[in-house]
């Protein structure tokens, strides 16, 4: 039988040397639920267990196990099976015992074939790798490419009421999401302070606007440094204290920028700010999503990502309120930006570590050395997942080109090519950001139903179709095009936090999510420069009122974005997807390889409040405090 998730699968006619006719599924303790059940079929040529073949269909995807001799699951890239327990029981008892099975679709089950006496073929059972990245011999590049189209088929998971999904979160999980969302929003606010005060800064430091934009470029360049430093710290020491340190740096550097008197001081502050900003994204994603209920992940992911657009809206509002409204000019804007992180720090100090990190830290304690185990996990992650990590950086480069390419030069296009007034540009930008917030939340939710890759590809195709009205309409009707174009751009982005989390190795989620995002950002940092340079090759008649030069930026943005959409669609199609992947350590094969045994609840807190295991001191105390 196969048991799991409250369901039982019974094998009919499974006696030795008899054909297995079918597998039936019944709901334990109640009637079968046709809305949530998944069809299962089983068949074999002669019924003998060594040639047993089970075909399980989960969400429309076939999962085939053939032969207990150790052939792997012939399946999509989202399901895997562990044969280690099966091998051990075969050798000890001469028959099949219990085999632990985990499917990334979210099912944890046990396959039990008790009292089935068969000779061990060739004297042994091969232990097979458990996840796609370990199957380099079993799956050739050609075979992998052959699965890209079939695995793109939407699983069509049940579409629950979004309100019910939000109600699934506990008070602590809501607190984790809230602190992550607020911090990510204010991170974006701090980033946009320079782009919204370029003219004032240029006048203050007696520099050109191009010189001031180096303050933006330096932030983009140094964000990768921050993601590496703070990502490793968060994966080793916990999400809490690196998060707090991040926000302390925001306070210091925003205040420092407000007191800068020279151009050199300004650039130094922005470079250091880039390090702080780069360290926050991965930590915020891990804090918000690690403990999130699986069914609500897509929706919460979309909501979290739109903190960036929300931060931009806040930056626009407070720029209007604080810039050049006092005798201090632009400086109060930066002084104010340093205040909210104080409240964010207080909020985070009230919360513990995430449950997922606490469980992982317990396993490290049980291994005898937290740091040693962490280093071993790093080696295993690089060995197994280096190709996947490279893919994630390339994917994030495309996504960042998509956002920067559609947004950075767009206000310039409106004002320069179509002669929009500053107020009209602001209105269009606000409408576009409202579309971004709506799209990110909506498509993030839909990705839980239709799959991450499918959702990204479909919304990218729609976004490509909207490029013409987005860039060639000069009337106020462009507001509608801007709304829906950014709905698509940020709709695709809404899938990214949880997609990256599911792709990342468990021990290095913060580091991998943050670094892949920031390295992609670094690659795309020149997108506005590329568009501006190409745009100058398409001059228009000078402005009749001011005589200023005009350029056809709309054509350039349209062509550039068309190429970016094609790149994102292709890379998403070729890439893997681990929809509904469990974040529990029990299902972490990397950690299992490091420990050499099944993991989960192996280090406990005894009656004296001490963490059992060979590690002691501050690490054990930190786990104890985090748990309480």
Residue 112 and residue 178 in one domain: no
Mean pLDDT of the region 306-310: 90
In a domain, 233, yes or no: yes
Same domain, residue pair 105 and 231: no
Model pLDDT for residues 229-255, shown as the tens digit of each residue: 999 999 889 999 999 999 999 999 999
Last residue within a domain, chosen from 150, 182, 215 = 150
Same domain, 361 and 404: yes
Residue 589 has pLDDT above 80, yes or no: no
3-state secondary structure of 30: coil
Of 117, 150, 183, the position where a domain reaches its end is: 150
- Identify which of 77, 79, 33, 34 has the alpha carbon closest to the alpha carbon of residue 56: 79
pLDDT at 132: 38
Residue 133 pLDDT greater than 80, yes or no = no
> Looking at the DSSP assignment, which residues form a beta bridge with residue 102?
80, 108
Are residue 146 and residue 183 in the same domain, yes or no? Answer: no
Q: Do 178 and 145 share a domain, yes or no? A: no
pLDDT exceeds cutoff 70 at 423: yes
Query: CA 454, CA 491: separation in Å to the nearest integer?
Result: 12
Percent of the chain predicted with pLDDT > 70: 72
End-to-end CA gap in the chain = 39
Tell me, yes or no, whether 99 and 234 share the same domain: no
Assess if residue 312 is contained within a domain: yes
pLDDT at 207 over 70: yes
pLDDT band at 14 (very low <50, low <70, confident <90, very high): very low
How far is residue 90's CA from residue 236's CA, in Å, rounded to a whole number?
Answer: 38
Question: Would residue 626 count as lying in a domain?
Answer: no
Between residues 471 and 196, the one the model is more confident about: 471
- Round to whole Å and give the CA distance between 12 and 321: 73
Residue 539 has pLDDT above 80, yes or no: yes
Query: Domain range for residue 141?
Result: 2-150
E strand map for 202-291: none
Contact 275, 218 (CB under 8 A): no
Query: Is 195 a domain residue?
Result: yes
504 and 551 both lie in a single domain: yes
Residue 475: partners with Cβ closer than 8 Å, 6 or more residues away: none
User: Residue by residue, what is the 3-state secondary structure of 91-157?
Assistant: HHHCECCEEEEEECCCCEEEEECCCCECCCHHHCCCCCCCCHHHCCCCCCHHHHHHHHHHCCCCCCC
Residue 441 has pLDDT above 70, yes or no: yes
Mean pLDDT of 460-467: 96
pLDDT of 458 over the 50 cut: yes
Contact 306, 490 (CB under 8 A): yes
CB 340 within 8 A of CB 188: no
**Cα-to-chain-centroid distance, residue 287:** 12
The SS3 assignment for 58 reads strand
| Pair (495, 373) in one structural domain | yes
**Residues 121 and 206 reside in one and the same domain:** no
Domain annotation covers residue 156: no
Spell out the residues 6+ positions from residue 586 whose beta carbon is closer than 8 angstroms to its own: 102, 108, 598, 599, 600
67 in any annotated domain: yes
Instruction: Check whether 109 has a pLDDT greater than 50.
Output: no
Considering the domain boundaries, does residue 595 fall inside one?
Answer: no
pLDDT at position 417 over 50: yes
Residues 487, 355 share a domain: yes
29-33, 307-311, 479-483: range with lowest mean pLDDT: 29-33
- Whether 435 and 523 share a structural domain: yes
- Out of 96-110, 431-445, 555-569, least confident range: 96-110
Q: Does 437 lie in the same domain as 539?
A: yes
What confidence category does residue 625 fall into, taking pLDDT thresholds of 50, 70 and 90? low
Total domain count, the chain: 2
Residue 204 domain-assigned (yes or no) = yes
Average pLDDT of the residues in 576-600:
74
pTM above 0.75, yes or no: no
Report the mean per-residue pLDDT for the chain: 75
pLDDT of residue 157: 82
CATH of the domain at 409: 1.20.1250.20
**Which one, of 27, 14, 105, lies nearest residue 59 by Cα?**
105
DSSP string of 325-371, one letter each residue: SSTTTTHHHHHHHTSHHHHHHHHHHTS---HHHHHHHHHHHHTT-HH
What does the pLDDT read at residue 323? 86
**394 falls in which pLDDT band (50, 70, 90)?**
very high
């Amino acid at each position: 039988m196969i048991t799991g998730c409250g369901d039982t699968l019974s094998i009919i006619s499974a006696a030795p040397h008899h054909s297995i006719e079918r597998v039936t599924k019944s709901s334990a303790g109640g009637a079968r639920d046709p809305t949530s059940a998944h069809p299962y079929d089983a068949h074999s040529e002669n019924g003998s267990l060594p040639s047993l073949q089970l075909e399980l269909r989960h969400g429309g995807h076939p999962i085939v196990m053939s032969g207990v001799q150790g052939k792997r699951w012939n399946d999509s890239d989202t399901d895997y099976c562990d044969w280690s327990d099966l091998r051990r029981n075969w050798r000890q008892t001469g028959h099949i015992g219990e085999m632990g099975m985990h499917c990334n679709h979210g099912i944890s089950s046990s396959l039990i074939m008790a009292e089935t006496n068969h000779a061990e073929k060739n004297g042994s059972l091969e232990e097979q790798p458990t996840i796609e990245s370990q199957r380099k011999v079993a799956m050739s590049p050609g075979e992998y490419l052959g699965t890209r189209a079939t695995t793109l088929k939407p699983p069509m998971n049940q579409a629950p009421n979004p309100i019910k999904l939000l109600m699934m979160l506990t008070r602590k999980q809501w607190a984790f999401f809230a602190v992550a969302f607020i911090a990510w929003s204010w991170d974006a606010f701090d980033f946009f302070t320079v782009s919204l005060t370029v003219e004032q800064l240029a006048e203050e430091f007696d520099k050109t606007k191009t010189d001031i934009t180096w303050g933006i470029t330096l932030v983009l360049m140094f964000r990768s440094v921050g993601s590496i430093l703070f990502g490793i710290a968060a994966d080793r020491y916990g999400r809490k204290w690196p998060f707090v340190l991040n926000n302390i740096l925001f306070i210091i550097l925003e205040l420092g920028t407000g007191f800068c008197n020279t151009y050199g001081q300004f650039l130094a502050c922005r470079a250091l700010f880039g390090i702080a900003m780069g360290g926050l994204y991965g930590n915020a994603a891990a804090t918000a999503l690690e403990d999130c209920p699986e069914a609500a992940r897509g929706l919460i992911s979309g909501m979290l990502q739109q903190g960036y657009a929300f931060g931009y809206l806040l930056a626009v509002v407070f720029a209007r309120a604080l810039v050049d409204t006092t005798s201090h000019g632009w400086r109060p804007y930066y002084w104010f930006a340093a205040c909210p992180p104080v409240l964010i720090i207080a909020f985070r100090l009230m919360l513990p570590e995430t449950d997922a990190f606490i469980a992982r830290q317990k396993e490290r304690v049980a291994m005898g050395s937290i740091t040693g185990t962490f280093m071993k996990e790093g080696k295993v992650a690089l060995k197994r997942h280096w190709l996947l990590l490279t893919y994630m950086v390339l994917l994030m480069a495309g996504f960042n080109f998509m956002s920067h390419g559609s947004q950075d030069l767009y206000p310039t296009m409106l004002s320069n090519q179509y002669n929009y007034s500053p107020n009209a540009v602001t209105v269009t930008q606000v409408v576009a950001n409202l579309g971004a917030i709506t799209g990110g939340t909506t498509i993030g939710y839909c990705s839980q139903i239709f799959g991450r890759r499918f959702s990204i590809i479909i919304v990218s195709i729609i976004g490509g179709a909207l490029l013409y009205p987005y860039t060639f309409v000069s009337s106020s009707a462009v507001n509608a095009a801007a709304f829906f174009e950014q709905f698509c751009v940020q709709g695709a982005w809404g899938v990214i936090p949880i997609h990256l989390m599911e792709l990342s190795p468990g021990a290095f989620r913060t580091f991998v999510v943050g670094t892949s995002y920031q390295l992609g950002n670094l690659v795309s940092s020149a997108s506005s420069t590329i568009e501006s340079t190409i745009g100058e090759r398409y001059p228009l008649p000078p402005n009749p009122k001011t005589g200023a030069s005009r350029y056809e930026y709309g054509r350039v943005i349209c062509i550039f974005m068309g190429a970016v959409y094609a790149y994102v669609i292709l890379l998403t199609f070729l890439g893997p997807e681990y929809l509904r992947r469990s974040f529990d350590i029990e299902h972490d094969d990397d950690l299992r390889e490091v420990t050499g045994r099944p993991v989960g609840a192996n280090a406990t807190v005894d009656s004296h409040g001490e963490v059992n295991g060979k590690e002691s001191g501050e690490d054990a105390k930190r786990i104890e405090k985090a748990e309480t």
